Amino acid sequence: MQYTTLGRSGLQVSVAGLGCGGNSKLGLGTGHSEAHAVDIVRRALDLGISFIDTAQHYGTEAAVGKAIKDRARDSVVISTKLKVASRESGIASVAEVLAGLDRSLRVLGTDHVDVFCLHTVLPQEYDRVLAEIVPPLLREKEKGKFRFLGITEFAGRDPRHDMLARALSDDCWDVIMVAFHMLNQNARQRVFPATQAKNIGTLLMFAVRAIFSVPGRLQQDITELAAAGKVPKWLAEKKNPLDFLLHDQGARSIIEAAYRYARHEPGANVVLFGTGNPDHLAPNINAILQPPLPDADRQKLAALFGALEGVGLDEIIPRR
């Protein structure tokens, strides 16, 4: 495993982080037992993973808590998240947010989490979240309930990272979670310059989602993009539009290429991956640990797809 520093938090974390949400939810979302989910987390820890990302919304906090129960608490960095807004009720009350934090601590079986994130905040919600929710949360931080405060975007509904661009002008955020992948590169201009300048820790989501791992999905999306004039038409004529990445000096698979691409982006700290299949842990980790893609391949990805926005940001994750 390789380790890095999560921005100004100073936390030493694995560059590969186990994400506990998505469609699989450690297998809970595909019909597996909690014991199965606990086993996945434990196997990930045994493979050197030291960063675990969960959320109250995922329903996986209990499995994470059971998996870390027999581990030294300082050997694993736990990040959890709480939704503070919904389409039905608007912004949650302070009491609801603080109760949610306490609930996460109880379910995880710990007296603190390392990173506590406000989850999927939209641009139009940000000002109220900053004014109403952040001050009381920081008082909870002073009590030792969490060490660092984070915020995550709602990628599918905020493809230009407008919320994060706004949030990064404030100084309360230690960690952010951002969507970034080979066909969704605009965080390079919209997010990473500010996180690097302010030394904010970055968690990368969407490195591999349905667009790269569901058979036929990439070809379908490229065909639609070509029809709309957003990518060259010749790409739509290829069975594998990204086959230029597969060569002796390059990647062995598109999924490996996608993980390597995200891992070595300047400004990236932790690349999150999720799975409900324990057999996929080692291959995903090994892909993230591979060296950067060749410069020529990265340049071609930038030339072909650098102007795209909102591609491959659907919320459904393949069952892997």
Which residues lie below 8 Å from residue 201, measured CB to CB, with a gap of 6+? 6, 7, 8, 9, 11, 115, 148, 150, 174, 175, 176, 195, 269, 270
CB distance 177 to 187 below 8 Å: no
Question: For residue 148, what are the β-bridge partners?
Answer: 115
How long, in residues, is the chain? Answer: 320
Q: State the burial class of residue 284 (Cβ atoms within 10 Å of its Cβ: 0-12, 13-18, 19+).
A: buried
The structure tokens listed for 152 are 């995550």
Active site members: 58
Task: State the CB neighbour count (10 A cutoff) for residue 95.
Answer: 9
